Amino acid sequence: MTDLDDLTFCGWDIAGASRARFESIRAVVHEHAAGSAFIETCQRLEVLHLGSCGCEAPVRVAGAAALLRLAELAAGLHSAVLGERQVFAQVRGALPVAAVPLRRLTAPAIGAARHLRREADLAADSGHLLDLALTAAGATPGGHILVVGTGSVARLVVSRGFALGFASATVAGRQRPDWLDSATCFVPLAELRSAAASAALVLCLSADAPDLAVHDFPRTDLLIDLGTPRRAAPGCTAAVSLAEIGHSVAADPEQSARRGQLRRRLAELLASRTGAAAAGVTPGVQRLREEIERVRAAEVERAVRLRPHLDRVSVEHLTRSLVNQLFHHPTQRLRTSGDPAFVARVTALFDADARHGQEARP
């Protein structure tokens, strides 16, 4: 049986890293054993694995500390935007393809992070990076904003830009995105240089997007680079990268105090979950969800074994979404029923040990 002491977490801060540094760290991350969980965000590269390793990660913790670190990451406590929703999704998305023992060990961390996010109302998204960038640059929103990129971060930044007070927006990309509305202009990436001058130019490019040269940019007063690796800066009045945003957040005493408070609460939630699991005392509703997850994971294993052509990640996401749709409301009603006897009767219907005992009777 795999023990919590076997769990190791290795992490690198890549915010604002150059292309060469980013690629070298990414290569080291993926040298870790198969079955590890590889987590990649625009600010960090992380790998969660079982056993020791010889990498030179600046952050390496093991055992209970590794579990807490994962919970903090999933809760968005290490993100520039406190509680960033997209980071929680990225962490969860990395776990389904990890080894089964690793997934079982990390389940309490994801549960504790979800609990904290709900309890503390941590619902900010990546679009709020725009707020932080403007604060770091000492700039005020207004005028025209040009967003380079067509993914989810670009969509959120455009929406946030209008909410903050930018009067107009243009999106540049290879293809016009489906989410673009009539209030926002579009320019093909090949014609970026000819786009109108802007008060702010925001780069929302994925890690694998090609780099842009200085002469590709139109005139702008402020460049905000929300991608990693960082791109070349045009000759503008000011430039802000993810690294500068991170430094600005770290220097804010209110932010530091708030994050410290949330870390302490998260540690309490995690200790409660891991303590109950170690003692074999699991609340009925949690036991029900764990049994449902056990069945779902087993069926995924069976499906990909019998049909190797299936994309495992897609099957994981599809089945997880279906299970959540079916069981979310029933389990919420059980949690709030206030009737322990009723909860016990319902959860007993899903008790694997009881079912197996009945099946073994002559």
Q: pLDDT at position 309, please?
A: 82
- Residues 62-101, buried b or exposed e (16+ Cβ, 10 A)? beeebbbbbbbbbbbbbbbbbbbbbbbebbbbbbbebbee
Among the ranges given (10-14, 45-49, 250-254, 296-300), the one the predictor scored with the smallest mean pLDDT: 296-300
Judge whether residue 263 has pLDDT over 80: yes
Lowest mean pLDDT among 51-60, 192-201, 307-316: 307-316
What letter would DSSP give residue 117? H
Q: Which single residue is written with the structure tokens 């293809």?
A: 175
Q: What are phi and psi of 19, to 5 degrees?
A: -60, -45
pLDDT at 232 over 80: no
Instruction: Identify the burial level of 357 via C-beta atoms within 10 angstroms of its C-beta, where 0-12 means exposed, 13-18 middle and 19 or more buried.
Output: exposed
Using a 10 angstrom Cβ sphere, with 0-12 exposed, 13-18 middle and 19 or more buried, the burial of residue 144 is: buried
Fold of 1-124+253-281: Beta Polymerase; domain 2 (3.30.460)
pTM attached to this predicted model = 0.76
Burial (CB < 10 A; 0-12, 13-18, 19+), residue 215, is exposed
Intra-chain end-to-end CA distance of the chain, in Å:
31
For residue 289, the SS3 value is: helix
- Give the burial class of 231: count Cβ atoms within 10 A of its Cβ; 0-12 exposed, 13-18 middle, 19 or more buried: buried
What pLDDT does 29 receive? Answer: 93
> Model confidence over 50-77: pLDDT tens digits?
998 989 999 999 999 999 999 999 999 9
Residue 154's pLDDT is what?
96
User: Residue 162 and residue 182: Cα distance in Å, rounded?
Assistant: 13
pLDDT for the residue 238: 65
What residues does 184 pair with on adjacent strands? 169
Please check whether residue 66 is in contact with residue 3, taking contact to mean a CB–CB distance below 8 angstroms: no
Bridge partners for 286 per DSSP? none
CATH number of the domain at 126-250, please? Answer: 3.40.50.720
Instruction: Find the helix or strand (DSSP H, E) in which 240 lies.
Output: strand 238-241
Amino acid 356: pLDDT: 42
Residue 100 predicted with pLDDT over 70:
yes
Q: Among 78-87, 286-295, 304-313, where is mean pLDDT lowest?
A: 286-295
Residue scoring higher pLDDT (328 or 178): 178
> Is 280 or 27 the better-scoring residue by pLDDT?
27
The answer to whether residue 334 scores a pLDDT higher than 90 is no
User: Tokens 């290879």 appear where?
Assistant: 174
- 53 vs 357 pLDDT, higher one: 53
Q: What percentage of the chain exceeds 70 in pLDDT?
A: 91
Nearest CA-CA partner of 39 in 51, 50, 26, 52: 26
Lowest mean pLDDT among 10-19, 67-76, 176-185, 204-213: 204-213
Give span(s): CATH 3.30.460.30, the chain: 1-124+253-281
For 195, the token pair is 């786009």
| pLDDT (average), residues 83-104 | 90
Asked if residue 127 has pLDDT above 50, the reply is yes
Give the rounded percent of residues in the chain with a pLDDT score beyond 90: 57
pLDDT at 283: 59
Q: How confident is the model at residue 276 (pLDDT cuts 50, 70, 90)?
A: low
Mean pLDDT of the chain, nearest integer: 86
Q: Say how far apart CA 116 and CA 120 lie, in whole Å.
A: 6
